[in-house]
Amino acid sequence: MKIAILTYHSVYNFGANLQAFATCMNLKKLGHEVELLNYWPKELENYYSKVPDEQAQAHLKFVKKHLPITDQLRNERDLKGYVLAGNFNLIIVGSDAVLGLGREVGNEYRKAFFLNWLYNSSESKNIKSAYLSASNMGAIYLRLSKMDKLLLKNTLANADFFSVRDYWSQWMLKTISLFNRINIEQAFDPVFTLKEMLDLSTIDVSKYNLPDKYIVVSFVRYALQFVNQKMIDALHSDAIAKGYKIIELPVSEGPCGLNFERTIDFPIGPLEWYKIIAQSSGFVGNRFHPVVVALSNNVPFVSIDMYSLRNKKKFRHLPIPFLKYSSKTFDICNKACMKKYVIPAYKIKTLSGVLDKLLENRSTVVFANNAADLHRKTLNRIINMRKR
């Protein structure tokens, strides 16, 4: 089968690159011909221009080496022309935050992921379409414009298969799809499948000169509204007392701006990033995919959760329990029975004692194996589905 994939494959983000990589590897293992639609609109390119050039090049090098990308496609017209001329049997959208409508920035280029350029063409009637482990990143669909709601309803009416990776996205889609027949399923992130497919011994991280026992800490710059130098110093003191080193693993945009004993230098490739976390003694930070890597490799972690809508003051005191599911980190940790290791960012007062929580004895092996297995089963169901 000839399959096209549309996702955020080449953005300067470790998790995005690895999701695309895992999806392609899984499909190729099943014997399919895979092409990754190299959708790179100018607005998206401008958005990631803040990433330091040497780190941007590390992401681009990974994409060119490991992903079966097409020529560059700048807009919906380019996508439509390439897909219709390519004799594809199936187009898969995702995984990743491909359902993020209603954003103040980038709402126009995001619309390509809803495939109306495909569904509105009579030439595409034999091309099946599926959404794989998609997410809307905490967007509130009830607040969408009428045009965006119509766009989403058309997608739900035409897609042959729909799976999302979190409860929030599932609930939001159901508010739009009350009268559509499509079943919106839960699936897991494809990065869970990498543990089985990667041989970490072949990934060279020797240039980083990592110590034997180290805790990875990683925060984005806007986390500094919740995390300060005093907290990092307290974490560092606790680590020294327990025989660990604290190492900052920067996000692609750069170090967070606080002082650490050691910060890993750019460039960092996505596979090296994965291994640095996978072989660490623990992780503390705010992003989602380091937690997925930690869960996959049985690495202890504490997540300082910045995804929840409750971090915004206008939502903080609303008596709506399911608001906590607006965080994809809380969602996955709740499924893994690990929600006690997720601390909402607005509640964090100190990082003293976090190391004790982090190093508690617990195992995520069974959950991670099940997540990987369920993702592969979802992929197989997509391959074998009939067109609606």
Where are any strands of DSSP class E within the chain? 2-6, 33-39, 69-73, 90-96, 128-134, 161-164, 184-186, 214-218, 245-248, 282-285, 301-305, 342-344
Residue linked to tokens 């965006």: 148
Per residue in 242-259, is it b (16+ CB within 10 Å) or e — as a string? eebbbbbbbbbbebbebe
Residue 140 shares a structural domain with residue 239: no
Report the distance separating Cα 208 and Cα 197, nearest Å: 23
**Which residues neighbour 147 within 8 Å (Cβ) at sequence distance 6 or greater?**
none
Report the distance separating Cα 83 and Cα 120, nearest Å: 13
pLDDT score for 45: 86
Report the distance separating Cα 9 and Cα 20, nearest Å: 5
Q: Which helix (H) or strand (E) holds 131?
A: strand 128-134
Q: Which helix (H) or strand (E) holds 163?
A: strand 161-164
pLDDT score for 311: 67
In the chain, which residues have pLDDT < 50?
A: none
Q: Assign residue 151 the CATH number of its domain.
A: 3.40.50.11720
pLDDT score for 111: 92
pLDDT score for 56: 96
Report the distance separating Cα 205 and Cα 273, nearest Å: 9
pLDDT score for 303: 96
Q: In 10 A of CB 211, how many CB atoms?
A: 10
What range does the domain containing 106 cover?
A: 2-193+370-384
257-294: per-residue pLDDT in tens? 999 999 999 999 999 999 999 999 999 999 999 999 99
Contact 189, 332 (CB under 8 A): yes
pLDDT score for 324: 85
Strand partners, 251: 254
Q: In 10 A of CB 61, how many CB atoms?
A: 13
Q: What is the DSSP string of 54-70?
A: HHHHHHHHHHHHHS-EE
62-78: per-residue pLDDT in tens? 999 999 999 999 999 99
Residue 188 shares a structural domain with residue 210: no
Residue 110 shares a structural domain with residue 15: yes
Strands 2-6 and 90-96, how do they pair? parallel
Residue 185 shares a structural domain with residue 306: no
Q: Which amino acid is at 83?
A: V
For the chain, the domain total comes to 2
Residue 188 shares a structural domain with residue 248: no
Residue 178 shares a structural domain with residue 236: no
Q: What tokens appear for 196 in the block?
A: 């089985």
Please state whether the peptide bond connecting residue 267 to the residue before it is cis, i.e. omega within 30 degrees of 0: yes
Residue 236 shares a structural domain with residue 354: yes
pTM over 0.85: yes
pLDDT score for 178: 65
The 8-class DSSP code of residue 359 comes to T
Q: What tokens appear for 97 in the block?
A: 């935050």
Q: Assign residue 223 the CATH number of its domain.
A: 3.40.50.2000
Angle 198-330-181 from CA coordinates, rounded to 5°: 90
Residue 176 shares a structural domain with residue 201: no
Chain mean position to CA 263 = 23
Q: What tokens appear for 42 in the block?
A: 């100018």
Residue 365 shares a structural domain with residue 375: no
Computed from CA positions of residues 195, 374, 164, 42, in that sequence, does the dihedral angle turn out positive or negative? positive
83-117: per-residue pLDDT in tens? 999 999 999 999 999 998 876 555 788 999 999 99
- Between the alpha carbon of residue 101 and those of residues 16, 87, 143, 283, the distances in Å are 18, 29, 10, 31
Strands 128-134 and 161-164, how do they pair? parallel
Report the distance separating Cα 49 and Cα 182, nearest Å: 38
Residue 220 shares a structural domain with residue 339: yes
- Between the alpha carbon of residue 324 and those of residues 159, 167, 265, the distances in Å are 29, 10, 34
Residue 256 shares a structural domain with residue 285: yes
Q: Which helix (H) or strand (E) holds 379?
A: helix 365-384
Residue 171 shares a structural domain with residue 218: no
